Amino acid sequence: MKLAVYGKGGIGKSTTSCNISIALAKRGKKVLQIGCDPKHDSTFTLTGFLIPTIIDTLQSKDYHYEDVWPEDVIYKGYGNVDCVEAGGPPAGAGCGGYVVGETVKLLKELNAFYEYDIILFDVLGDVVCGGFAAPLNYADYCIIVTDNGFDALFAANRIAASVREKSRVHPLRLAGLIGNRTAKRDLIDKYVEACPMPVLEVLPLIEDIRVSRVKGKTLFEMAEQDVSLSYICDFYLNIADQLLTEPEGVVPRELSDRELFTLLTDFYLNPTNNSNNSKEENISQKSKLNAGWDSSPTLKNTNLLLNEKQHKNDTNQVDFFLV
């Protein structure tokens, strides 16, 4: 199965990808994660360092594919997940699609491309030009990471359009959205009401996830030392389990930009229902907290992890949109 993870820059694609890759490996699958972002830090929390990229390696061998060995470009990461970084074209020149094409070509030459149960492409997706849509040509499923704000959902909608386009010539489905770094999902819900697609999971902003990036470790590795973190791993295991059922997914019908703007303007400027819901949510969160609920990762009680900082972030998003 081939997966392509997309989403706005900085939204948490690599973090989510690394932890899903391990979750899939924990379920007995042979997994390869391919970082397709010129930032080339996709696999950092799996290996603990920035591995050499395919493009750098090919350049150092003058593009003689026959001189490249698997161990030059495929690195073993935590949990037995194999890791590759495609690297990027020179800034302001070249094409990300070319880089992904070269990466797949080399992996095929090395007989590595068909060796895995799962290949996960971690791709950037602010602006999905033809080049960065290239991994969709190889994927069975696209997964979109978003938060509960306008920009990430705008990017998600453009990625949905790319999936619809590619699905005309290749059996590609959108597995769904993953909400990340958000205590709320009301705007996500409003979007999927208008553009139906599954929501696989919603993860709140969790300080330990931020720390994992700094430490160069995944949550699974950190949870080995601190079992109190295993509830975070359960989010990722839940996503992995859904993917392993080979879900039907959807071929999305993206909204036009105008429809999307209207939907979001309406959400922020006419918040009659939304604000009522939010108030009820906050009240019920408090009563659940007082009742001592645990924070196991179900969609219902991810809101429990709402804290002042998150609330501030959410508020900022609203302000940003209104400005």
Q: Tell me which residues are annotated as active site.
A: 8, 13, 39, 126
Q: What long-range pairs does 70-75 form, CB within 8 A, spacing at least 24? A: 70/110, 70/112, 73/106, 73/110, 74/32, 74/110, 74/112, 75/43, 75/47, 75/51
In the bound state with Mg ion, the residue whose beta carbon lies nearer, of 216 and 247, is 216
In the bound state with Mg ion, the residue whose beta carbon lies nearer, of 14 and 47, is 14
173-212 residues near ligand ADP, rule: CB under 6 A: 180-181, 203, 205-206, 209-210
Instruction: Name the residue number minimizing CB distance to Mg ion.
Output: 14
Helices (H) and strands (E) in the chain, counts: 13, 8
Q: Which stretch binds ligand ADP (CB under 6 A): 10-18, 73-81, 215-223, 265-273?
A: 10-18
Give the x-and-dash track for 30-49 against Mg ion (CB under 5 A): -------x------------
**Contact assessment for residue 137 and residue 226, using Cβ atoms and an 8 Å cutoff:** no
In the bound state with Mg ion, the residue whose beta carbon lies nearer, of 37 and 186, is 37
**Contact assessment for residue 199 and residue 299, using Cβ atoms and an 8 Å cutoff:** yes
Contact partner, 252, from Mg ion, ligand ADP, none, Cβ < 5-8 Å per class? none
16 binds Mg ion (CB under 5 A): no
> Which residue, among 102, 83, 89, has the nearest Cα to 218 in the 3D structure?
83
**Contact assessment for residue 109 and residue 70, using Cβ atoms and an 8 Å cutoff:** no
Contact partner, 30, from Mg ion, ligand ADP, none, Cβ < 5-8 Å per class? none
**Contact assessment for residue 5 and residue 123, using Cβ atoms and an 8 Å cutoff:** yes
In the bound state with Mg ion, the residue whose beta carbon lies nearer, of 14 and 33, is 14
14 binds Mg ion (CB under 5 A): yes
* Radius of gyration of the CA atoms of the chain, in A: 20
Where along the sequence are the contacts to Mg ion (CB under 5 A)? 13-14, 37
Binding site for ligand ADP (CB under 6 A): 7, 9-15, 180-181, 203, 205-206, 209-210, 213
